Structure 1
Amino acid sequence: MTSGPNLPKPEFDIEATVERAMALINRTLQPSLEDARKAVDKARASRPLVAPGDLVSPVTRGNRMRAARAVSYSLPSILPGFGTAISAAALPVALREVLKEAVSAAIKVGLLHDRDLDDPELTRIAVLLVLTEGAVKLDKTGRIRPGAILGRHASLLGQPASYDALAALTAEERQEIAASQSEIIRAWALAVGPPLLAGLLPFGVGPMAAANYVQYVLRNTITAATGVFGPAAPVAVTVETIPGSEVQQDGPES
């Protein structure tokens, strides 16, 4: 009894894949602001009394669904061997599509919180901050070090309403962040890419696992965007912090 043909096992190099992806995804950081505004305005019109935070999920649902469909590039993996090789070659395209939807979702979060995103440079560095924060949270290897990427601006990560701090930066300081764009995208791709390799598992199991992971990536991005674009946490005010002239004391009526 002879065994079946021995199909070659595809070799996969995540570093090389990320480098190929970089050429595709560097152009994805400026989504259509007009389309994002239409989606936000439509959601606000249908639910005028709903707080911005409660509109984030319905407004970004389309982004999450489209990102999950990006793993359809892994569908050839249902055929072991050559099918997996085809899927591996298509992974950079899938990464680009996931990034595109992540950036679009971040922009919508900014608009929901009434941020002025008409300044393309300020918007771009805000999105870069969102991606950096997302990459740090997704990274399980410890290889992504914010200080090495953002330098002194790494302190902005995790800072509530960091968009306000970005808006207050000088042009030179903003350029320092913008100059790290390639490193930020590469860090994001290295954090997102390896788990997407699950999409290369044969017989259809991989794409399902990858789709679930992409949903997680988008939720992570939306959480980071809410931190960047959202309002600062309210400051608790006590009687001791109110100026004395504003504190009214109960006393006998004159």
Structure 2
Amino acid sequence: MSSGFTFPKPEFDIESTVERAMALINRTLQPSLEEAQQVVDKVRAGRPLVAPGELVGQVTRGNRIRAARAVSYSLPSILPGYGTAISAAALPVALREVLKEAVSAVIKVGLLYDRDLTDPELTRTAVLLVLTDGAVELDKTGRIRPDAILGPHARLLEQAGAYDALAALTAQERQEIAASQSEMLRAWALAVGPPLLAGLLPFGLGPMAAANYVQHVLKGTVTAAARVFGPATPAPVTVEELPPREVQQDHPRP
């Protein structure tokens, strides 16, 4: 005689997951400037003559590692069935952790380029711009439309030295961007979240796929941050950067 009781089948809805994640994400945009500065100073002390662009990877290495570890939420998926359901329920927390490391990496890149990040509103706007820039790059569905999110300020995306343009905006223009914060964060969550579903694949395949994807997300974030905080025009070439054959030394005439 068989029992009439059956376990409910676990289901997963990316839209509801993003909504749950948003409540956590909104509290993750205020990293410690002091801690970020300590990391930047330590890296610079070891290579004081190296250009900032060459140090970006070293400064953000810890963020990439910690973001990859955030996919530990998917470890229960090793057990098919309800292990997958447990992993799915923890996805919003993992998404928040990835965002936390992404924001921290953005701040470090800004400090590496000697940007003044003491204005919390300007810094927050710059971080949101970087995240939106990264979301647009990641989106393969066409759902994320920069013009719909930022209006005329969408021109700042993909613009080198956009931080200077942000700083030059009027208070009203900055407020227009700040008013789109929820849409910018949602765009980021929708771009990053769905591919993390690969982490729910059973038998240990998911965590590896998710970790690789998170590394890709952080790499894109760092690239966007370097574009936003870096110079709008190429930095002047120094003598140290010239090939040996192009460096002429003055010799005293006999």
Structure 1 outlier segments of 4+, above 2 Å? 6-9, 233-236
The match for 1:111 is 111
The match for 1:56 is 56
The match for 2:227 is 227
* SS of equivalent to 1:203: coil
Change (3 A) 1:235 1:61: closer
Does residue 221 of structure 2 align to residue 208 of structure 1? no
TM-score (norm 1): 0.89
The match for 1:35 is 35
Distance of 1:108 and 1:64 partners within structure 2:
13
* SS of equivalent to 2:193: helix
Does residue 173 of structure 2 align to residue 196 of structure 1? no
Distance of 1:79 and 1:235 partners within structure 2:
53
Distance of 2:197 and 2:77 partners within structure 1:
11
Is the Cα–Cα contact under 8 Å of residues 95 and 189 in structure 1 kept in the other structure? yes
The match for 1:147 is 147
Instruction: Please list the CA deviations of residues 197-222 of structure 1 after superposition, one character each: whole Å capped at 9, or x if unmatched.
Output: 00000111100000000000000000
Distance of 1:133 and 1:9 partners within structure 2:
38
Distance of 1:192 and 1:21 partners within structure 2:
11
Distance of 2:178 and 2:74 partners within structure 1:
32
The match for 1:20 is 20
The match for 1:96 is 96
Shift of 1:7: 6.4
Is the Cα–Cα contact under 8 Å of residues 75 and 87 in structure 1 kept in the other structure? yes
Structure 1, unmatched stretches of 5+, are 1-5, 237-254
Is the Cα–Cα contact under 8 Å of residues 153 and 177 in structure 1 kept in the other structure? yes
Letter in 2 for 1:168: A
Letter in 2 for 1:197: L
* SS of equivalent to 1:54: helix
The match for 2:84 is 84
The match for 1:185 is 185
Instruction: Please list the CA deviations of residues 17-76 of structure 1 after superposition, one character each: whole Å capped at 9, or x if unmatched.
Output: 000000001011111110000000000011111110111111100000000000001101
Distance of 2:123 and 2:196 partners within structure 1:
28
Q: What is the root-mean-square deviation of aligned Cα atoms in Å?
A: 1.6
The match for 2:122 is 122
Structure 2, unmatched stretches of 5+, are 1-5, 237-254
TM-score (norm 2): 0.89
Distance of 1:180 and 1:83 partners within structure 2:
37
Instruction: Please list the CA deviations of residues 133-191 of structure 1 after superposition, one character each: whole Å capped at 9, or x if unmatched.
Output: 00000001000000000011001111110000000011111111111111100000000
Distance of 2:49 and 2:162 partners within structure 1:
26
Shift of 1:8: 5.0
Is the Cα–Cα contact under 8 Å of residues 131 and 221 in structure 1 kept in the other structure? yes
* SS of equivalent to 1:43: helix
Letter in 2 for 1:229: F
1:160-175 matches, cutoff 5 A: 160-175=160-175
Letter in 2 for 1:65: I
Is the Cα–Cα contact under 8 Å of residues 8 and 82 in structure 1 kept in the other structure? no
Shift of 1:10: 1.8
Letter in 1 for 2:123: T
